[in-house]
Amino acid sequence: MSLQRNRIRLQLDASKPIGVGMDAGTRLMDKLTSCSPRIPWARALQVEVAIYNNGVIDNLSGITSMTFEIKNATGGIIDTAGAAVLSQTISSASFLNTLTEDQWLNDNPQPSYHAVFPFLDTEIAGISMSGSVGNEKGFGLVVSAVGAYGRFTLTQDIVQLVNDGATGAGSGVAPLASYTYSDQQILALFNAKLNAGENPDGVGYALFDKNGSGAGLLLYVEVPAGETEPVLRTVKVTRA
C-alpha cells in the first residue's frame, strides 16, 4: 500500500437507490477502514472506486465518464445549487474494465480499482475549513457517471474533512544572531550620540520630529521647589 497519499476505496453499486452504500446500509463506507470516509485537509488524496451492479462487479460497459465532486454542506444537507469546491472527471479511456472482484477485495495487484481520482495536497488545501468544529467540517461527496441514458448518481453522502494542524519539520534551536558591530561598538555609538550613562546636572535630551519639521521636545529632570523626588519634564522646542 502506498503511503504517499491518503487513500479512500469506495465500492459502489449502480443498481442501488441513491444514498444506499454497498455494504454500509445507508452510509458510504471506505473499504480500507470500514468507516465513513474521512479526508485529511491539505493532504494528498487518492479516491479509488469499484462499480458493482446488483452485487456483481461491473465491466463499465456503456459508461463514458465518471465525476468525483466535493460540495459544501450545511447541517448535513449538501448544497446542490452551489459549485463544487473540488471536482475531477475521468473518461472511459482511463477505466480498468478488466478489474476482477478478487483484485478489488484483496487490493492486489495494482492497480486494483475501476477508476481513480488523484488530488494534490495543494488542491485539498484550497477547500475552505471556515466554520469547522473540533477541527472538522462536513462536506458532500458525490460520484456520478454518464451512460447511455445520461448522467446518473453512483453515490452521495456527507464526509468529514479533518485539519490535523501539522506543518512539517521545525527546529527547537533559535538561530544565532549576526551583528555588524560588537556590543562594545554599539554601546560606544549610543554614548556618543545620546550622552548615555550618568550625565552632569542640567543635561537634557532634545527629540525632534522625524519628518523634518524642526519641532521637538526637550526632556529634562527637575526637583520641584520644596520636594525631594525628581520629576521628568518636557518642553516644546524648535530646531534653530
Name the band, by pLDDT with cuts 50, 70 and 90, for residue 2: low
Confidence band (pLDDT; 50, 70, 90) for 218?
confident
For residue 133, give the DSSP letter: B
- Residue 24 is predicted with a pLDDT of 47
pLDDT band for position 176 (cuts 50, 70, 90): confident
Domains of the chain and CATH, by start: 6-162 (2.60.40.10), 192-238 (no CATH)
Query: Is pLDDT at 141 greater than 90 in this prediction?
Result: yes
Which residues contact residue 238 at a Cβ distance below 8 angstroms, ignoring those fewer than 6 apart? 214, 215, 216
DSSP 176: P
pLDDT of amino acid 1? 47
Decide if 208 contacts 216 (C-beta within 8 A).
yes
| Residue 71 confidence (pLDDT) above 80 | yes
Query: Has residue 168 got a pLDDT over 80?
Result: no
The amino acid at 60: L
Look-up: residue for cell 537634557?
204
Region 38-46: what's the mean pLDDT?
95
Q: Kindly tell me if the per-residue pLDDT of 193 is higher than 70.
A: no
Statement: residue 202 has pLDDT above 70: yes
Residue with cell 534551536: 173
pLDDT of 23 reads 53
109 prior amide bond cis, ω within 30: yes
Rounded CA separation 67/72 (Å):
16
Are the beta carbons of 144 and 151 closer than 8 angstroms? yes
Mean pLDDT of 31-52: 94
Q: For residue 167, name the pLDDT band (cuts at 50, 70, 90).
A: confident
More confident residue, 188 or 87: 87
- CA–CA distance, 197 with 192 (Å, rounded to integer): 10
**Grid cell in block for residue 159:** 464526509
Burial of 142 (0-12, 13-18, 19+ CB in 10 A): buried
| Residue 209 burial (C-beta neighbours within 10 Å; 0-12, 13-18, 19+) | exposed
Question: What's the pTM value of the predicted model, to 2 decimals?
Answer: 0.67
- Residue 223: CB atoms within 10 A of its CB come to 10
Q: Please give the share of the chain, as a percent, with pLDDT higher than 70.
A: 88
Kindly tell me if the per-residue pLDDT of 195 is higher than 80: no
**Helices and strands (H, E) in the chain, number of each type:** 3, 13
Q: What is the mean pLDDT of residues 30-35?
A: 91
Q: What is the mean pLDDT of the chain?
A: 87
Cβ atoms of 63 and 145 within 8 Å: the answer is yes
Element (H, E) at 232: strand 231-238
pLDDT beyond 90 at 189: no
Residue 190 has pLDDT above 70, yes or no: no
pLDDT beyond 70 at 197? no
Query: In the predicted model, what is the mean pLDDT of residues 214-233?
Result: 88
